Amino acid sequence: MPVKVASEWLNSCSGCEISIVDMGERLLDILQVAEFVHLPALMDHKYFGQLGNGKHLEIPEADVGIISGGIRNEEHLEVAGEMRKKCNIIIALGTCATHGGIPALCNSFTTDEIFQRYYSTESTDKPDTFPSESIPPMLDACYALDEKIKVDIYLPGCPPHSDHIFKALVALVEGTSPRLPDKSVCDTCPTQRKGKGELKQLRRFLQPPQYGSPDEPLDKMRCLLEQGLLCMGPVTRAGCGGDNIKPRCISARVPCRGCYGPVRQDGNQLLDMLNALASNGIDFRSLPERKSLLRFSGAHHLLRPAAK
Ligand code: SF4
Ligand code: SF4
Ligand code: SF4
């Protein structure tokens, strides 16, 4: 009997689904042993029956349910609940599902403030008319999946590399638990590190880092953090390069923005980053956007001016 797989997207950009499709020919291997019974990105499967005559939202039963995106409105909540009811194992796919991801940046504003900003600025042609029909009511915030339903397996990444999705599905078909890298991006980064303490100030990423030429191998370039760029590699889970291992952004000579989330699922990536900067002797007052960063981390005391 093939393993039945259902997949859903909630507060998501569909990049995670592209990563599923990005398995390429390996999808054909998966299809030998698994059957997709529900996959809105690729299959036309309606919530209320194919002719729209159903009375309740219904998703077919499955052994494995893959959900991308966090939960922002009541429809997301209902779909997530139905997936939990119908699937034996739930995989949170992508950082929006595992931690809230980019859409959770909205959590520093109230829903009212977001609506005001979106519908009542000088650039909108019908100010103050908020849509009310056919739009699911918003929740008070954007939630990671496990804040609303039980999650069995976490596959972070924005999006997760298709190598990890493939391995996770193979593991589940074989009846074992998928394993994620438990190292940091720095642990897999080939750039040169000379040591701590030289750098006191960070700078905005407005100019490229220093390196010889575009053809020069990465191991000839100095670590981006040691060049004064805010690189989240020390506190971010490795794996974005898939089996190729090299971190994606660093390979493009761009600092890591932390999209794979904390090295441990329950880690506080921002607070850990502040600790990493402190142990490197960096003055917090040189942090770009430090007020919002510190507010998110709960480390308000670091906003105070240094004692004279
Ligand atoms: S984790 Fe990234 S790729 Fe996946 S839905 Fe969220 S924003 Fe899109
Ligand atoms: S801080 Fe960034 S550039 Fe430096 S080693 Fe870590 S991942 Fe690489
Ligand atoms: S280097 Fe960092 S931000 Fe870039 S893809 Fe990898 S984990 Fe994500």
Q: What is the pLDDT of residues 274-298, one digit of tens each?
A: 888 887 788 777 776 666 655 554 4
User: What residue spans of the chain are helical by DSSP H?
Assistant: 15-21, 26-33, 74-86, 95-99, 111-119, 162-173, 248-251, 269-279, 290-297
Q: Does the C-beta of 20 come closer than 6 Å to ligand 1?
A: no
Q: What are the CA-CA distances from residue 242 to residues 12, 163, 179, 226, 256 (Å)? A: 21, 5, 13, 25, 15
Of residues 73, 88, 95, 80, the one with CA closest to residue 15: 95
Could you say which ligand is closest to the alpha carbon of residue 252? 3
Instruction: Flag whether pLDDT at 217 surpasses 70.
Output: yes
Specify the 3-state DSSP secondary structure of 225.
coil
Angle of helix 269-279 versus helix 290-297 axis, rounded to 10: 120
**Average pLDDT taken over every residue of the chain:** 87
Q: Helix, strand, coil % (nearest 5) of the chain?
A: 35, 15, 50
Q: Which residues line ligand 3 (CB under 6 A)?
A: 185, 236, 240, 247-250, 256-260
Q: Residue 213: what are its φ and ψ, rounded to 5°?
A: -145, 160
82: confidence class by pLDDT, cuts 50, 70, 90: very high
Q: Are residues 255 and 247 in contact, defined by beta-carbon separation less than 8 angstroms?
A: no
pLDDT in tens, 163-179: 999 999 999 988 888 88
Q: Measuring from atom 8 of ligand 3, which residue has the nearest CA?
A: 259
Encoded tokens for 193: 């590190």
Q: pLDDT, tens digit, for every residue of 86-106?
A: 999 999 999 999 999 999 988
The CB density around residue 129, as the number of other CB atoms within 10 Å, is 10
Give ligand 2 pocket residues (Cβ under 6 A). Answer: 185-186, 189, 191, 193, 223-225, 231, 233-234, 247, 250, 256
User: How does pLDDT run across 173-207, given as a tens digit for each residue?
Assistant: 888 888 888 899 999 999 999 876 677 888 888 88
Q: What percent of the chain has pLDDT over 70?
A: 91
User: Which of 218, 248, 251 for a ligand 3 pocket mutation test, highest count of atoms within 8 Å of Cβ?
Assistant: 248
pLDDT tens, residue by residue, 128-143: 677 778 889 999 999 9
pLDDT per residue as tens digits for the range 5-15 = 999 999 999 99
Q: Please answer whether residues 82 and 57 qualify as being in contact, where contact means their C-beta atoms are separated by less than 8 angstroms.
A: yes
* C-beta separation of 184 from 276 below 8 A: no
